[in-house]
Chain A
Amino acid sequence: MSDPPLAAPGAGTGRSGRVGLLVWRISGAAGPVLAVILALLAIWYAATVWLNAQWVLDQAARADRMAGFGDILRGTLNQERPVLPAPHQVAAELWNTVALQPVTSRRSLVWHAWVTLSATLTGFGIGTVLGIALAIGIVHNRAMDMSVMPWAIASQTIPILAIAPMIIVVLNSVGVQGLLPKAIISAYLSFFPVVVGMVTGLRSPDAAQLDLMRTYSASRAQTLWKLRFPASLPYLFASLKVGVAASLVGAIVGELPTGAVRGLGARLLSGSYYGQTVQIWAALLMAAFCAALLVGLIGLIQRLTLGRMGLAR
């Protein structure tokens, strides 16, 4: 975005006009969104029948009788340990673990989600601050530009599954346990998009804008604070959306190698130990919901911030 956004469509209209526009957009989008959801559910059900059918056929063969289509349909949609649980099974599991349990209970998926979210948010905070600090260093210091960026890129080529246990083990040996190791793995994944976005953003002012600051004999700090930083905010928000989703992945992966008993990662792990596919899928959906929530939240902050700055589209 070398060009600053000019008049946004509908920007001249009042608040009521904007709300009206929003309602129109949502109602306009409702049809297609609903159609996609229904299509996904249909595919999911079809896949459930197809993938779980073998078990029903095996059972029938053992009992030495033929399984009709009705038998397959009944037999595949309510198995206790299905290859792929049906949507209504996952929904029931979600209902049981979200609505029917007190949120402080260890059986509550909300409680597990909160454990993971707190590590996610801590890690996201660390990653964002680190990412912004590195970007400022890279933009202002040629030596850092040459030296830090290759390492940052290299860090992201290491599979997180390989390095996460190392981080946990090393930190554990110096007595750091619990939330912090997970947060660090989460930060490890989220700082990178922030660095990349912020370096681009901080460098986005053109030569004339920088010359203007020079004619004022502005210090580097003043140029950073009054020109580079505000100019970088649209880039920062785009990076934060990527970063927060990466943070959540990091926190979940960080829960796996410890054999943790708390968090969404722990639910995934114990689910796979005991073949509780329904539990795994419920935890996955919960994780997806958390990611959507976090990205949506950042989108909201983005709109409010850029709107206040007169940069909203």
Chain B
Amino acid sequence: MVVEARRLDLTFQTADGPVQALSDVSLDIRAGDFVSFIGPSGCGKTTFLRVIAGLEEATGGSVSVNGMTPDEARRARAYGYVFQAAGLYPWRTIGRNVKLPLEIMGFDRAEQDRRMRDVLRLVELEGFERKYPWQLSGGMQQRASIARALAFDAALLLMDEPFGALDEIVRDRLNEQLLDLWARTGKTICFVTHSIPEAVYLSTRIVVMSPRPGRIADVIDSPLPRERPLDIRDSAAFIEVAHRVREGLRAGMGDDV
């Protein structure tokens, strides 16, 4: 197991009193899985990702990443994290942005160069290493931020709505590329999204979450094959999974909407 969460609770203390962001969340993520977390805002999907990353600490239950605590796993550089905004440093070229984690982790210069070139090829940004972030489109910036997360070759990739700010056409293209990248690298991917088609298209497992308190409403193992052309989205199997996700979301919302 890459991630094992058992009866996880997380309560934030806010000015308006305690807010239960996660309640009784148990989940196993196997190596090589592509797991999507979907649900309305406030369902705790991003919080859960941050708990796995060791950026937030659970207030109850247990979670392990590669058999370690999230904090240990973070120190062992077990995962790469892709944020909603590309968050490239504007004073660094694309190449040097990708090298940022490598510099911090103490890779030697030759190795930094080699890895930077490798991951930029992986996200199809060869030849852009000397450009500054503002010279690239939003989609390209997000690809560069994915390259940055891949650079130190962690087996686990945590992605927090990475394509949320992009338009539909760019998003489709990046979804295709991400599946391709996943197939070639064999990484385990945890992917937070708002979009039902995106979740169904990408995932081997879909975790449907519901808010107040944040909890898991349904876990769906996708019957779709790993090889997925874009037009699989018109197949009966795809539509059926999407329907189940939608049902899960509706049940979880209760009378809130």
- B104 contacts A7, CB within 8 Å? no
Residues in A neighbouring B75, C-beta threshold 8 A: 217
Contact at A215–B93, with CB atoms within 8 Å?
no
A70 adjacent to chain B (CB < 8 Å): no
Check A211–B55 contact: CB distance below 8 A: yes
The residues of B that contact A230 with a CB separation of less than 8 Å are 89, 91
Contact B93 A217 (CB under 8 A): no
Check if A214 sits within 8 Å of B104, measured CB to CB: no
A216 contacts the other chain (CB 8 A): yes
**Residues of B contacting A7 in the complex (Cβ-Cβ under 8 angstroms):** 134-135
Given contacts A6-B134, A310-B93, A310-B132, contact A218 B104 (CB under 8 A): yes
A226 within 8 A of partner (CB): yes
Chain B residues near A231: list those with CB within 8 A: 89, 91
Binary A-proximity of B88-107 (CB < 8 A = 1, otherwise 0): 01111100000011011100
A310 near B101: Cβ-Cβ < 8 Å: no
- Chain A residues within 8 Å of B77, by CB: 216-217
Q: For A213, what are the chain B residues with a Cβ–Cβ distance below 8 Å?
A: 104
Q: What size tier do the contact residues of chain B reach?
A: 20 to 34
The CA of A6 and the CA of B87, in the complex, are separated in Å by 13
| B191 located at the interface, meaning its Cβ lies under 8 Å from any Cβ of chain A in the complex | no
Q: Name the CB-closest residue of B to A306.
A: B91
The answer to whether residues A214 and B93 also contact, given A208-B83, A208-B87, A222-B104 and a CB cut-off of 8 A, is no
User: Is B100 in contact with A226, judged by CB distance below 8 angstroms?
Assistant: yes
B residues 102-149 touching A (CB-CB < 8 Å)? 103-105, 132-135
Judged by a CB distance under 8 angstroms, whether A227 is at the interface is yes
Does A311 sit at the interface, judged by CB under 8 A?
A: yes
CB distance from A201 to the nearest CB of B (A): 13
Partner-B contacts on A (CB < 8 A) = 4-7, 208-209, 211-218, 222, 226-227, 230-231, 233, 309-311
Which B residues lie at the A interface, using CB under 8 A? 53, 55, 74-75, 77, 79-81, 83-85, 87, 89-93, 100-101, 103-105, 132-135
Besides the contacts A4-B90, A214-B74, A215-B79, what 19 more A-B pairs have beta carbons closer than 8 Å? A4-B134, A208-B83, A208-B84, A208-B85, A208-B87, A211-B81, A211-B83, A213-B104, A214-B55, A215-B81, A216-B101, A217-B74, A217-B75, A217-B77, A218-B104, A226-B104, A227-B89, A231-B91, A311-B90
